Amino acid sequence: MRKKTFIVISLWAVAALCWAFVFALRYTNRTVFVHTVDLESMPGIRVLDANNATFQILRMKPNRVEIKWKESSINLKESKCRVKKLDYQSVHVMAGFNNKQYRMAIDSGYYGEVLVNDVFVIENDLKIYPLETGDLFVAGLCHVDKIEIGDMTITTPLCFYKLNHYEWRVLGLTIWKQRQIIFGVQLMRQFRYVLIDNIAAEVEFSKQESFEADPVETWRHYQMSIENDKKNIARLMIEIPIAGEKTKIMFDTGHNSTLVMAENKWKKLSTKLHVVEETNDRAQMPYGWNDIKRITVRELCIGKKNISEASIDVFNDDNKYGPDFFLLGMECFKDTVIVLDFEHNLLWVRKPHSL
């Protein structure tokens, strides 16, 4: 009898410990946004001179800096470079740097050439030049010798760094740190085209050959341009019908959603859509977590594609991007091939039934 009682108590104790562990794991397993005050005060960090082999600081003004970049080049062994697209809805490829491999975002939503975070700077012992530009996202310049993507080499790109990153913590311990490296729109525009194949999971960059939509009837195209916003920041814009109305919208290959917008934009669009569900949520953004409304609509038409049960993220008008924030992500192109044709200023979308 005593033995049986001991076994029962032991089983209850094990069950209680397992339950406590699961409870603790659930409520302490979280992703946090970490800020670094500065890098230049850290031991071992090297600060560049204002006039060095890669760039010169021409003028420093409040909230603005003028930079002369001396060297930046992209070299391909062949006329085109085709690489594997990683298993993301947004566009990521593997990139080589300092004999290490990193996931690199091909991100038309980033206005510059290359952007890295504080973890990447520290782990690779990059030389930096801090700036005071008033920019929410960049903290300074850093020196990158070269980045390799497949058979392509990018030499001394104009590279900024930021002072934050995300971490995954379990039971208070850091399990993972974000090592971010972004390939922005100012590099993308140096190609004749960038092709993103979400079926074969590949990305193609072409420096010499033009894109040919062959056969042309299997493709649709939309006007594309790079425009500067009110803060003189370059944005990749496309003109595409949304809910039956021709719309100019920022196109972000680094975002895996369908549509993201400020409340101001949603008020107008919502009159044309049937809302099925609305929930409060949070979204990871370059500047940290942001409270959003995640709205599901019965059907959303983008271009010629009807998306059932489409999800739309709505930000408050006081978000860091302002009340005109409005972007199109990669969700509605997940089953097709798209081409950013910088030579002809067109976004090509292959009709899914033509694949």
Reported residue count of the chain is 355
CB 213 within 8 A of CB 337: no
The pLDDT tens digits of the residues spanning 133-177 come to 666 688 999 999 999 999 999 999 999 999 999 999 988 899 999
| DSSP result, 221-255 | EEEEEEEE-TTS-EEEEEEEEETTEEEEEEE-TT-
User: pLDDT tens digit string along 295-320?
Assistant: 999 999 999 999 999 999 999 978 88
Q: How far is CA 342 from CA 104, 193, 223, in A?
A: 21, 5, 11
Whether the pLDDT of residue 23 is over 60: the answer is no
Question: What is the per-residue pLDDT for 87?
Answer: 78
CA gap 222, 68 in Å, rounded: 34
User: Is the per-residue pLDDT at 59 higher than 90?
Assistant: no
pLDDT per residue as tens digits for the range 267-281 = 999 999 999 999 999
CATH of domain 34-188: 2.40.70
Domain boundaries, the chain: 34-188, 219-354
CA atoms within 13 A on the CB side of 6: 3
Chosen CATH of 219-354 out of 3.40.140.10, 3.40.50.720, 3.30.930.10, 2.40.70.10: 2.40.70.10
Q: What is the pLDDT of residues 200-249, one digit of tens each?
A: 999 999 999 999 998 999 999 999 999 988 878 899 999 999 999 999 99
Nearest to 317 by CA among 252, 278, 269, 266: 266
Cα gap 344→342, rounded to integer Å: 6
Phi, psi (degrees; rounded to nearest 5) at 8: -60, -45
Cross-strand partners of 308: 299
Confidence of residue 58 (pLDDT cuts 50, 70, 90): confident
Reported pTM = 0.89
Structure confidence at residue 212 (pLDDT): 95
Note the pLDDT of residue 90.
87
Same topology for domains 34-188 and 219-354, yes or no? Answer: yes
